[in-house]
Structure 1
Amino acid sequence: MRKILFVLLLIPTLILSACYSSNEASINDLPVTKLTGSFSIDVNDLTQIVGDADYVFVAEVTDEVETLYKHPVTIETENGPKEVSDPYTKYAIQVVDNIKGKLKNNKKFDILKAGGISQDKESIVLYENDELLQVGKYYILAAYAQPDGSLLVSGPNSSSALTEMGKSKIVSSKEYKEYKEAFKNEMKSERKRFKSSHEM
């Protein structure tokens, strides 16, 4: 009786594990659809990236929360009209160090990253020279405060993955020093700016 009960309890676990592994594999196998955009700054110039952003900081990604779909439009396809929306991936992060601006350290909050799995689940949509964030990794992020106080990370070179872990190693890394230097020489753009609700 115990063997039968154990087997019956084990079957759902195995099915869920198989579904999870299959889902993870399929996400990694999706083709990437690259977005191109017209930007008011040179997205290959770090002094302009830092100058245009409201906040530049080092953060650990602690969780991938969900994918949101915004700005729906209807397009014509060979199979008829189809509604498509822009994906935005919501992540939970924890700020390790501020380079520009003063966000709360060591407190988890959510940010939005432009890009993610398309609504039809057939591709990953990203700007050129951009990548989705990975849980457990550290990044230098250039973020824009939104009218509601939330933060958006958007566009080419808006996030830079770090190989170092731990604050002392990160602040002595080459990438961190490059951003600090860019902040000293930032080319601040003129635009309407908002304040994050996650400031100190």
Structure 2
Amino acid sequence: MSRKPTHTRDSLLDAAADLAASHGAAAVTMSAVAAAVGAPSGSVYYRFPDRATLLAGLWLRTVDRFQSGFLEALRIDPPQRAAMGAAHHVTDWSRRHPTEAAVLLAGREAFGFAQWSAESRDVAATQQARIDDAVRELGDRLGYHSRADRERLALLIVELPHAAVRRCARKAGADLADAAAAVDRIVRDALGEGAGTLSDAPSDPAHTG
């Protein structure tokens, strides 16, 4: 009977995420991950042939986990509720997953994007395309067809909540829950200027993990 691997891909990536959140992406090395899980370096190299693959794996997994709920929120009806739910997901997910949020805040360049394999860069491009397409579809549902309106929507449901998360991460004592509530109000008020069915939207936007 074969033995179940002691150190799985996810357990190694979990250790890498902890290192990145605590000490920055530069601290994520093969030897550091091995030490963090109490494994020989060979166990890490078995799962990830080099550091670039490890860093790419951490980033891509984190993006997938974040995008799952974000994309689901964007499909909610009516579209005003979807916009508010998507913006809320950014702050809510970040509050519930601070370690992974720290990875995203660092940005993929911090994780050596230029050294990633072509395959990993293609996966990253596909992830970004999913977001772009989903936001574009939401814009269509909201009647936002001009470039300016689409840019406004992206700023509202992507850039604004991410900026709130970043500000709280950098400011000692900042409360992300308070910032999330402020983002919810801003998004709701902004949609109210051009959305005739805003009353259909909930005060606590639907969101998923």
Question: Normalised by the shorter chain, which TM-score bucket?
Answer: under 0.3
Q: Which has the higher helix share?
A: 2
Q: Which has the higher strand share?
A: 1
Q: Which has the larger radius of gyration?
A: 1
